[in-house]
Structure 1
Amino acid sequence: MLKKIAIDDIRPGMYVVDSGLSWLEYPYLYMKEGMISSQITLNAIISEGYTEAVIDTELSMGAVLGGENGDEALSRDLEGLPEFFPPPPIIPVAEEMDKAKSVYSDTVRYARTLMDGVRMGKAIDLEDSSLLVEEIIGSVTRNCDALTGLSKLRTFDEYTFSHCVNVSVLSVVFGRFLGKTEDELRMLGQAGLFHDVGKQLVPSAVLNKPGRLTPEEFAVIKQHPLLGCKHLYGQDDGRRIEQAIMMGMLEHHEKFNGTGYPRGLSGDGISEMGRIIAVVDVYDALSSRRVYKAPMHPHKALGLMYSMRGKEFHPGYVERFIKCLGIYPVGSTVRLNTGHVAVVTISNPREPLHPLITVVADKAGPIVPRKLDLAGQYKVRIESTLDPLEVGIDPVAVLEKAA
C-alpha cells in the first residue's frame, strides 16, 4: 500500500516511490525511487529541503508500518459512509462508447484551443465550454463508465489538454454521485476544464523548467489559480461568471490542513467546488501517463489518496470518490488469484472489492472473453492490478464489447 508521510517520519528501510507528480506543484516531495539505506542518506534528503515522500509499505523492510490488507481495510471503512447512488445506467457501456469517444475528442480539441488562446491573451469561450460540458453530462447520465474509462485509457500527446478534460469529466461523474443538480454539474465541468488555464500565464522559463523549482519559482507557480481567475473575470463580455466556477478554479490546490495555495485556506473555508476538483485533480495527475513516467495504477493512486484523507483532503471526500469509481475503477486491468487476466467493466459501489469483470486471458494467453460478477462469491478475487501495455491488453476494446 502507498502512503504519503512527512520526512520526519521516514526511517531507514523504508521504500520511496516515484509518484509521478509534477515538480511544478510538489517541489518538496522527495521522489527518487528506492530504499532508504541509512541514516546518512536520510539526513542528506532532509538537508536538501524535502518535507514529504511517498512510501510503499509492502516493499519497506520489517514491520515499519505494518497493518492488514489495505484493500480490505479500505473497503470496510467505506461501509460506514452515508449512501447515495445515482440512477443506474440507461444503456450498456458498449453502446455508449462511440458517443463517449466523440465527446472526449471534441473536448480535447476545445481544451487545446482554450490553452493556446489564453496564452495569447484571448478570452475564454464560455458558450462553447457550456455546450461541451452538457454533452459530457449527457454521456455520464446514459452510462458514466464509458467516459470514466476513456479518461484513464485514452492517450494524447499533450498531457495538459487531456488533464483538463479528465478533470472536467471526473468532476461531473463525482458530482453526480454526490447528488448534484444538472446546473451544479455544468459548473463543475466548466471549472474542471478551466482549472489550470492560469498556468498558461506563468513565465515559460518557470513552467517548463525540467528540474526542481526554487522557493521563488514555486511562489510564482502558486499564483496560477489566481491568474486563471483574473483572466476569466476580466473578460469584457457583459456576462456574469458564476461564483462557483471561480471558486473551483481558485481553490483546487487548497488543502484541508491549510498547507495549500494560493490563499492557505483550511477546513470549511474551502468551497465544496474546490474540494471536489482538488480530489479529482490529484487523482488524474497520479494516474495519467506522462512522457517521462508510466501512470500509477488507478487502484494504487486511490490508495495513496486515502492515506491523505483528513490532511490534504476534506474528510469524506476521498472516501466517496473511491466509492464512486470503485477500488478498482472501470477499465482497470487486473490479475485474479486464479492466474487469469481481466478488465473491470462495471464498478460496484455497494461492494467496491467485487466489480463485474471481463476475463480475457489465462496463464497460456488470450481466451474467449467471458463476464464474471465477483459479487456474491469469494472463490475468485482480484489479486493485483496490471499495466495493460505490459500484458498486451486493450481495455477500451474490451469495454466496447461489454454488454
Structure 2
Amino acid sequence: MPEFRRIVQGGRLVGDEKIKSPEVVYENTLKYIEDAYTLLVKGKGIPSPESILSEFIYTLKTQGPEMVVLAHRPPSSAFMAIHSVSVSIIACCIGLLRKLSESSIAELGVAAFFHYCGIALESKDEAKFAQMKEKCIKGVEKLDLVSGMTPKIKKFVREHHERIGPELYPTEKTEGDMEPETRILIVADTYCSLILSSDTERCVHPHKALMHLLEKNKLPFDADILKTLIEIVGIYPVGTCVELNNGEIGRVVRPRFGFPMRPLIEVISGPTGISLSRTQTRDLFESPVIHIRRVVEEREKTQ
C-alpha cells in the first residue's frame, strides 16, 4: 500500500525530469480517472493514483490559478471524469490555502478523484432517491479495488454521499464532527455540480453559482470553507463578463489566489463600447486604481 503522505513531500517524486504544463497534468489526470471508473464498473483492480496525484498536487502548488481555469472547462462526453477532475482541483486548492497537512491534501485528492463512486454506478431511474442513496453509500466499498485505498479516504466519500439530496446538494449541516476533508469535498462538489452538467442547458454561470452558494440559509455549508473557495475562484470567477471603472468591458480569464477582487481580465471593448481589434489583458493586481464596477449580463453584450 503506497504512503500517500510521501506523494506531496518535496513537491515531486524523485525521477521527474521536468515540470509539466497544467494542460498536460489536467489531461493525464482526466485519463487516469476515466480509465479508473471503467475498471470500477467492470469490477477490476485499479492502479494506484500515486504518480498522477504527485504531479497533480505539485502543479496545484506551483500553477494553481491556471489549474482553476481548467476546472471551469465546459463538460464533454467524458462528463464524469471531467467533473471529478474539476472537483479535485477546487478541493485540493482549498486544502492548500487552508494549510491542511500534506497527507490530508493527498487523501483529499484521492477522495475527490473517486467521489463519484456509487453515484456513477447506479441508475437514478431504477428506484426512489432514498433507495439509490443507500446503494451509493454501499457502493463506496467498491473503492477497495483501488490500489492503496484507505478506510479514511472511503470515509470522506461515504460522508459526502450521506449528505447529498436529490439535486446532489447537501441536505444537512456540514459542520460539527464531520472531517474537514469531507466538508471541503462537499463545497467543491456542489460548486462544480452547478457550473458543470452533462446537460449544458442546466449549467449555471460560475458567478451565479457562487452567489447561489453564498445565499443565507440556502444550503448548509461550512462558512469558513466557502470563504476559502472565494479566495480561490474569486468574487468574479473565470468566464464572468465585467465592466471596469474605466469603462472597459472584459471577461475574467484567470483568478489570483488571495485577491478575489483582482483577477486577470481579457478586455473585450474599450470605454466607447467599440470592440478591440487586438486582444488585450489587464491584470487588476498590477492596476490598483482600476476595479470591477459590475457584472455585465449576457443580454447586455448582444445589445
Short-chain TM bin: 0.7 to 0.9
Which residue of the partner structure matches residue 345 of structure 1?
254
1:102 equivalent in alignment to 2:24: yes
Number of aligned residue pairs: give it: 275
Relative distance call for 1:265 and 1:358 in structure 2 (3 A) is: closer
State whether residues 174 and 221 of structure 2, in contact with CA within 8 Å, keep that contact through their aligned partners in structure 1. Answer: no
The residue number in structure 2 matching 1:268 is 176
Q: Secondary structure at the match of 2:252?
A: strand
SS in structure 2 of the partner of residue 199 of structure 1: coil
Which sections of structure 2, spanning at least 5 residues, go unmatched? 1-17
Q: Which amino acid aligns with 2:258?
A: P
Change (3 A) 1:304 1:356: same
Partner of 1:371: 281
The one of 120, 136, 139 equivalent to 2:56 is 136
Q: Which position in structure 1 is the counterpart of 2:213? A: 305
- Cross-structure match for 1:173: 93
Picking from 189, 195, 198, the partner of 2:118 is 198
CA RMSD of aligned residues (A): 3.3
Distance 1:379 1:231, change over 3 A: closer
Q: What TM-score, normalized to structure 1?
A: 0.60
Instruction: State the partner residue of 1:226.
Output: 137
Stretch deviating more after TM superposition (269-278 or 377-386): 377-386
User: How many angstroms does 1:153 deviate by?
Assistant: 2.1
Report the Cα offset of residue 275 of structure 1.
0.3
1:284 to 1:224, Cα distance in 2 relative to 1, 3 A: farther
1:298-324 Cα shifts (integer Å, max 9, x gaps): 111111111256952123111221122
Q: Is the 8 A contact 1:118 1:200 kept in 2?
A: no
CA distance in 2, matches of 1:333, 1:265: 29
How much does 1:199 deviate? 2.3
Is the 1:328–1:344 contact (alpha carbons within 8 Å) kept by the matching residues of 2?
A: no
CA deviations over 1:271-292 (Å, ceiling 9, x no partner): 1111010000000010115334
Q: 1:283 aligns with which of 177, 191, 194?
A: 191
Letter in 2 for 1:372: R
> Structure 2 vs 1, CA of residues 366 and 288 (structure 1 numbering), >3 Å: closer, same or farther?
farther
SS at match of 1:316: helix
Cα offset, 1:163, TM superposition: 0.7
**Partners in 1 of 2:80 and 2:29 — Cα distance?**
13
Contact 1:228–1:249 under 8 Å retained in 2: no
- Kindly report which structure 2 residues correspond to 1:375-394, keeping only aligned pairs within 5 A, or say none: 377=288, 380-384=291-295
Unmatched tracts of structure 1, length 5 or more: 1-95, 392-403
User: How much has 1:189 moved relative to structure 2?
Assistant: 0.9
Tell me the secondary structure at the aligned position of residue 269 of structure 1: coil
Q: TM-score, normalised by structure 2?
A: 0.78
Structure with higher Rg: it is 1
Aligned to 2:66: 146
Preserved contact between residue 309 and residue 315 of structure 1 (Cα < 8 Å): no
CA distance in 2 between counterparts of 1:299 and 1:232 reads: 34
- Kindly state the Cα deviation for residue 383 of structure 1 after the two structures are TM-superposed: 1.9
Note if contact 1:108-1:162 (Cα within 8 Å) is conserved in structure 2: yes
Q: Deviations over 1:95-137 (max 9, x none)?
A: x997111111122222222222222222333x1x222121111
